[in-house]
Amino acid sequence: MGCDKHWNRNVRAPTGSCDNHQIFTLWQQRNCVCLIFIMCQNKCKLSNCSAFLQNLIMKIFVTACALLALTIPTFVAPRQAVADESRENSCQSVVGTYLARSSSPSDPTSVSSELITFNGDGNFTATGSNSGGDPDATSFANQTFGPTHGSWKCTRNREIIARGFNFNYRTRNGFPPSISISTYRLRFNSRTQTVAGEASFDVYDLNSTPQNPVRLPDIGGPFQSNYVGNRITPE
């Protein structure tokens, strides 16, 4: 891309001489803007400098603008690639709701379903299909439990790591309430719009905190499952 030889020069003539006088030449072509600053240092009169400066300025910014025009794509392309990579690594494409199925590794016929939503702010919620349980249950296996609330993140290799908490409710037969902590390690497939991997949970004392969970040893966990979720779309 060559430089247009039509250029504008805006000169404010000083009184007597061009001591410390600034001459600005601006040339613009598409995305290319060259600004050349020249300081007269020899106390020459502007009329004596004019022809020389015009010729010098033209040569300098024709060369400079040509180089700049060639350089701009070089800087823009890598930055765009870095931005695209950053968006991909942040896994914003994971955000959404999925209908998931989890099955026991030891018994593939033992299947349950779950609705899980990954929010853009890093939080997630999940609701299990078997959360109703049995109000008269005498063991954890049939205990009614609530939805899971937690947080998630995505690693550079597009692995989703999530941890969430839910309450297991007291039964009418006096089986005590507790907290379940679930963990997910999943991978997102942009082609099939699925998340797949492993999920597990264990049971903890109701007074546990995220920083200090107190595990209940008599429940028999942790409980692991194979996990596959399909994105829910508007159509």
96-152 pLDDT, tens per residue? 999 999 998 988 888 999 999 999 999 999 999 989 888 888 888 889 999 999 999
User: Domain spans of the chain?
Assistant: 8-89, 93-231
pLDDT greater than 50 at residue 42 = no
Q: Residue range 69-81: average pLDDT? A: 48
Closest CA to 156 of 209, 91, 73: 91
Taking alpha carbons only, the member of 58, 22, 57, 55 closest to residue 40 is: 22
Q: Alpha-carbon dihedral of residues 54, 60, 62, 65, nearest 10 degrees? A: -130
| Confidence band of 81 (pLDDT split at 50, 70, 90) | very low
Whole-model pTM: value is: 0.61
Distances (CA, A) of 76 to 60, 71, 139: 24, 9, 62
Cis amide bond preceding 177, omega within 30: no
Identify which has the larger pLDDT, 71 or 74. 71
Residue 6 has what pLDDT?
Answer: 42
In the structure, what pLDDT confidence band is assigned to residue 59 with cuts at 50, 70 and 90? low
Q: Which CATH architecture has domain 93-231?
A: Beta Barrel (2.40)
HEC string for 35-95: EEEEECCCCCCHHHHHHHHHHHHHHHHHHHHHHHHHHHHHHHHHHHHHHHHHHHHCCHHHC
> What pLDDT is stored for residue 58 in this prediction?
64
> What pLDDT does 53 receive?
56
Which of 17, 182, 212 lies closest to 102 in space, CA to CA? 182
